[in-house]
Structure 1
């Protein structure tokens, strides 16, 4: 048995659904049964959400982790006081909101690096708001890599049977094709293998997607599959990994969804994200909104644990009380699992 880990959860963009799903998640007593959660952001933002949505909770503002009570119904918030509530508008891109979101991420990274918390979970941020605030990053993954001085890292998406790692993410499609290189593919295979083990996965067979239609079809539709991906697969086999590929992605993801692979390697952002979100996102056509949004984003390769919801800020429904906390709950559960594994191997 392990002590319950302390999990730092960022509010995300304060003009988004981030604060709402964070509070809603912590209104599940099961969360407190498995961890000690602390929200990181602005106490005023969370108090506003509670009052606006008539939620049965209270906020306990703190300035250090030692002040946290970890009591269900009395939510601890590491209060950064970066938001002027009279200037905050739901669904609006702003430098103030971007700076507050960035500040929460930076603080939770610092807390984890200092060992004050055991794992981090991030709410959704708006990249334009972050950049308008002068923080020029493509997303969470790049922020974490920069402030932890990490060079080898990758995005892993987890939803039921689908566990998808990416060779590249936040770059143009043209640039993504140029980044399909043998060494990088081998790097993400190793990251995925270690990630599957840390998540308790017993099926360690890894599928490797092709880049071009039909995985190049013997060079008819491009040469990257034969010249970069296949050599990486062959080298991975020599190193003892159970890998299969390159496989046409339209076939590979259909098999992966049934559990044929413990994890799969996607060559670029949308190749991995589209099948993943088809699995985890449920659209209510009648209400014209998402009925449920599931899926966890995990950054592998970091010296600290980072999981996240794998959906955006949903500005169009911010403050309306209809956002689903499903993905946030899954992200917290994954952070707890990863924390327990890390403590186990350290012991």
Structure 2
């Protein structure tokens, strides 16, 4: 248990660029564009530096580091409020019911409507682990650390939390949903549109996308088959989100049709179950129980898996854990069951 989740630093540019090049495309929050990633790191630094407690248009970027080697192998992001810099678009899957008196029949047509219903939500995203590192619960540590950060800075986040999952791609990296729906209106490939969105934002969607509902009966079968379906690499992430209390509420990504998961922030399981306790002892703790721990505010935030021993109203931890979290006896830590 040597991995720590910590705030990103400017020196992480090479590591995060390496990860961005390993995503295989369609990963909007982690584009393989060095200047864009450098700007992300700078923005995150300014957000970590702000001390106010009101909700703002902020992005917090975290890195997963192996403390034994110093190697960075994963990353994740938290957005305090989406839709502030530019509209946050989704497709909502709905239906229109019509009745013909002459035919004596009622027709129910499924539709896709371009909406901004989720504006103002907080968002967790950008979670990525390098291939070969997805074992031993490390991905779960990375994912759940975001909820601990939100809990420990609750005033800076909204009451609704969303997570967009990458949609299904074919073996060539193309998006059947894009090719069957949005791509018909833009004259560019999925990769081109996704890269443009990651760097410049999605205002071009508002400029060019039809504003009226699209009847799904007019969409080709390949696109229909992947609506609301996560990328193969994101199925485990979807299960983790569901275990935390997220649900699929018929919102999908406008680019690749991936599902948008929605939850009430204070009902997230990790947030509800976490408690603040003092460290009563640092040293040899012998037989212990596994836990998820976090300490520190803003740029000093750190989270890890570690063993603990309950001692009265506090906990005992070993010296390695105390060093990773940068805590001493008497300091408070946030604790959730692993």
TM-score, normalised with respect to structure 2? 0.23
> Rg: which structure is higher?
2
RCO comparison, higher one (Cα < 8 Å, 6+)? 1
